[in-house]
Structure 1
Amino acid sequence: MIIIHATFHINPVKQDLFLEEIQPLIAASRNETGNISFLFQKDTENENVFMMVEVWQDMQAVSSHNSSEHFTKFVANAKSFLTVPLEVKAFEGQPLKL
């Protein structure tokens, strides 16, 4: 299982447009083969910060996602919304049985 955290620091002037343009990415990504979960959240402590928490079945699913039309289209425009470079962290893990 691959877990990805992507943090977006958004220019407040462009926040509404960012939120509009990210919706197709979220919807399409959730429907991809190999997607386990795809969450998009607003940071409650930092006004213009958002985070995606993605869980993928394996690296093949991540690679497929990264080459998808909805992903490449969004990434091509993402820099125009950011105040600092996009921060992406990826982890490999398995669910724990508690």
Structure 2
Amino acid sequence: MIVLHATFPINPERREDALELADHLVEQSNEEAGVIDYRAAVDVQDEHVIRFFEQYEDAAAVDAHEESEHFQRFEDELPDLLAGEPEVLQFDVDDVTELGL
């Protein structure tokens, strides 16, 4: 499994546009083959930061996602929405254990 964690600092003046775009991206991405889970959330300590948590079955699913129309739209519009440099981390996961609380 591949897990991506992406952090995007958003221009406060474009926050609503960014949230709409993120919502569309999440909705469409969760319908893709090979996507286990795809979520976006606003940071609780900074409402102008959007974090994406993405889980894929394999590298082919990541590649397919990056070639999708909705992801390309997101990438095209993103530079106008940012207030700083994004950070994207990839984790290659061999084992997952669900923990109880």
Q: How does 1:26-65 map to 2 (within 5 A)?
A: 26-65=26-65
Cα distance in 2 for partners of 1:25, 1:34 equals 15
Q: Which structure 1 residue ranges, 4+ long, deviate > 6 Å from structure 2? A: none
Distance in 2, matches of 1:13 and 1:30, equals: 28
- Structure 2 counterpart of 1:96: 97
Question: Aligned residues, how many?
Answer: 98
CA contact (8 A) 1:15 1:81 kept: yes
Identical counterparts, % of pairs: 35
> What is the TM-score with the length of structure 1 in the denominator?
0.94
Equivalent in the alignment of 2:84: 84
- CA separation of 1:96/1:83 partners in 2, compared to 1, >3 Å: closer, same or farther? same
User: Letter of the aligned partner of 2:2 in structure 1?
Assistant: I
Match of residue 16 from structure 1: 16
Alpha-carbon distance, 1:97 to partner: 6.2
Q: CA separation in 2, counterparts of 1:72 and 1:58? A: 20
Which secondary structure does the structure 1 equivalent of 2:47 belong to? coil
Letter in 1 for 2:49: V
CA contact (8 A) 1:79 1:85 kept: no
Q: Which runs of 5+ in 2 are unaligned?
A: none
Q: For structure 1, which segment, 81-90 or 56-65, has the greater mean C-alpha deviation from structure 2 after superposition?
A: 81-90
| Partner secondary structure for residue 28 of structure 2 | helix
Q: Which runs of 5+ in 1 are unaligned?
A: none
SS at match of 2:65: helix
Please give the TM-score of this superposition, normalised by the length of structure 2: 0.91
Over the aligned positions, Cα root-mean-square deviation in angstroms equals: 1.2
